[in-house]
Amino acid sequence: MGWLFYTDRRVKTYANEKAEITRLCTFETDTRRTTLVNASKVGSTWYAAAKVESLDGTSLEDRTYMTDQDGSFTFGAVFLTRMDDGCWGYKDMEESAGPCESRAPLSILNLLSELKDPDCYAHAWRQRSRDWAAIPDYAEGDKIKLVAPSAMAASARSSQRPITSAGGKDGDATALRKPAALYASQRRLLRDRSLSVAKLLRGVRCWRSFLRGRGADSEGNPLVSFQNTQNICMFLLRQELCGSQNEEN
């Protein structure tokens, strides 16, 4: 089905959302009753396990799920949620539809009943969720090792070399260090550029002093204004810096 939004804006908090998910997973007919077993929110998506029981004593028959020992079965449901102009909305799907959102926690997956068809959409959805749950949680500062070298790491080998990891094996690198030769070339470049700019500035100051001493015209205006001199100096400085960058490239 599509999206359904509550224009009365009664759903505002996490507790309101969970209460609404519980209500949506709880309904009853003359022969069956469905109740929420557990629900968990991951991001903006709710994952729920709902249990279906028989009320008239007859055995439950379903083409997707196998019944448990008590004659009931539990299925998984996914509720996409979002806010639109202050109104909470949801879109619900059963796991047999094969939802794209497949980050259900193990606490939900372990409650679900066995499936009859191992090739159904629900089985693929559960496997994707288990694969996601198997990814470890990394904290800031953790060091990882790639199973295979990446393209970025391969391109960096020409200018960088690995250092020995904490395990003591050369090749199991956990960080990269630039070679000393690269630092030396960068220092030389910065030193040469600093000397070149310093020489330029000394020359500009001398040249500006010379222009200021040229005197004035018949009306008393200086032959070269201070603003024009400053513009010329900045132009020469930019030319020098551009030339240094071209030499670096």
236 Rama class: left (phi>0) / alpha (psi -120 to 50) / beta: alpha
Cβ burial, residue 171 (10 Å; 0-12/13-18/19+): exposed
User: pLDDT band at 229, cuts 50/70/90?
Assistant: low
Whether residue 101 sits in one domain with residue 201: no
Query: Does 58 have pLDDT greater than 60?
Result: yes
Range of the structural domain that residue 185 is part of: 180-248
- Domain end, chosen from 101, 116, 134, is at 134
Same domain for 186 and 111: no
Tally of domains in the chain = 2
Residue 186 lies in a domain: yes
State pLDDT tens for residues 180-215.
Answer: 555 565 566 556 555 555 666 666 666 566 555 555
pLDDT band at 136 (very low <50, low <70, confident <90, very high): confident
The closest alpha carbon to 62, from 70, 71, 100, belongs to 71
Whether residue 176 is predicted with pLDDT greater than 60 in this model: the reply is no
Q: Which residue has the higher pLDDT, 226 or 70?
A: 70
Residue given tokens 């003359």 in the structure block: 30
Regarding whether 192 and 84 lie in a shared domain, the answer is no
Mean pLDDT of 115-125: 93
Is residue 11 domain-resident? yes
Residue of 198, 190, 201, 202 lying closest to 247 (CA atoms): 190
Asked, for residue 9, whether it belongs to a domain, the answer is: yes
- pLDDT value of position 139: 77
Within this chain, do residues 19 and 125 fall inside the same structural domain, yes or no?
yes
Tell me whether strands 32-42 and 176-177 are parallel, antiparallel or unpaired.
unpaired
Lowest mean pLDDT: which of 18-27, 89-98, 158-167?
158-167
Residues 15 and 129 in one domain: yes
Strands 176-177 and 87-94: unpaired
Q: Does a structural domain hold residue 156?
A: no
Q: What pLDDT was estimated at residue 178?
A: 44
Q: Is residue 12 part of a domain?
A: yes
**Across all residues in the chain, what is the average pLDDT?**
76
pLDDT at 29 over 60: yes
Are both 32 and 90 inside the same structural domain?
yes
Whether residue 18 is contained in a domain is answered as yes
